[in-house]
Structure 1
Amino acid sequence: MRVELPDLSAMEAFGRRIAMRVEPGDVVALSGTLGTGKTTLARAVIAALGHEGEVPSPTYTIIETYDGLRVPLVHADFYRLQDPSEADELGLDDYREEAVLLAEWPDHAGGFAHEAGCLSIALEKVGDGREAVVSPGTSWQSRCP
């Protein structure tokens, strides 16, 4: 499925649609080259889940956690990982327990597309806007945004 995201308001609306459907244990895997809007979409999802205030990019911390939302959320940016085994060293499984994982650069952590609860979103630049190529895991089939 392809979703056109011509501007920031479309990206925010897409983030709200995702946020309405996520459940604990899900992974929203965001891929795309630098500057395609992965962090922008992540921020839209986090805000739509009820977070008020700034959402820092986890580029340097790698993992940011958000409790007190509609569902607990872990926002991870795996860009700096050199090997997928480093995700295990971070204790990623402990963070994911009963939470949604919002993963930027998921391939750097070994990928999550094999999981039934993974919603893979590849963002691409299209003119001045973006396009999302959405691939839902089996548990997302009936609730795809």
Structure 2
Amino acid sequence: MTAPRQQAITVNLRDEAATADLARRVGSLLRAGDMVALRGDLGAGKTAFARALIQSLGDPDDEVPSPTFTLVQTYDTPAAPVWHFDLYRLGGPDEVIELGWDEARSGGIALVEWPDRLGSLLPPERLDIALSFGPEATARRATLTGHGGWADRLGSLEQP
């Protein structure tokens, strides 16, 4: 059995506005059934990226709190329901199932911070976004890796 096709690009983000712009561009490519895995150290910008992405799919004035304590927040958007998971405090995949994972995957868009907690539930068809700190205080770097069908969708996200 061969591994799913994958493609990676790196985008330099000079500030939070550039991060929000990338999130909007990713949001324009999302459809029901997609999964976006957000990786990065604490403070690298995962929640800021998620907030901008969710607002781009729905109402830009919607409050989008971090699901750090609630573990999951859902948003009805024209594209599909968005399930924003923060799995930082979870011990393993069994706990994710209790949060509605199967429902999120059956027709929603799953946006997951700390996807390593998914274990074997991590789907092979997904977009991984790894955020890291850049050379300046407000700068970040995003490495996007498309797995499966996402490999073909990444081209439109490359910097001009």
Using the size of structure 2 for normalisation, the TM-score is 0.84
Pairing partner for 1:44 from 31, 52, 65: 52
Equivalent residue, structure 2, for 1:84: 93
Distance 1:37 1:43, change over 3 A: same
**Take 1:48 and 1:13, find their aligned partners in 2: how far apart are those partners?**
9
Q: Does 2:57 match 1:70?
A: no
Check conservation: 1:32, 1:123, Cα contact below 8 A. yes
Amino acid at match of 1:9: A
**Aligned with 1:115: secondary structure?**
coil
Q: Based on CA coordinates, which of the two structures has the bigger radius of gyration?
A: 2
Q: Post-superposition shift, 1:56? A: 0.8
**Aligned with 1:48: secondary structure?**
helix
Structure 2, unaligned runs of 5 or more? 1-8
Pairing partner for 1:130 from 137, 140, 152: 140
**Take 2:99 and 2:55, find their aligned partners in 1: how far apart are those partners?**
25
Equivalent residue, structure 1, for 2:150: 140
**Aligned residue runs from structure 1 range 10-49, under 5 A:** 10-49=18-57
Equivalent residue, structure 1, for 2:17: 9
Count of aligned residue pairs for this structure pair: 144
Per-residue CA distance 1:63-117 (angstroms, 9 max, x = gap): 111113332210000001012221122231123321100000000122665422x
**Take 2:75 and 2:148, find their aligned partners in 1: how far apart are those partners?**
26
Check conservation: 1:106, 1:112, Cα contact below 8 A. no
Judge which range, 96-105 or 67-76, deviates more.
67-76
Using the size of structure 1 for normalisation, the TM-score is 0.92
Q: CA RMSD in A?
A: 1.5
Equivalent residue, structure 2, for 1:103: 112
Q: Does 2:60 match 1:56?
A: no
**Aligned with 1:142: secondary structure?**
helix
Equivalent residue, structure 1, for 2:6: none
Structure 1, unaligned runs of 5 or more? none
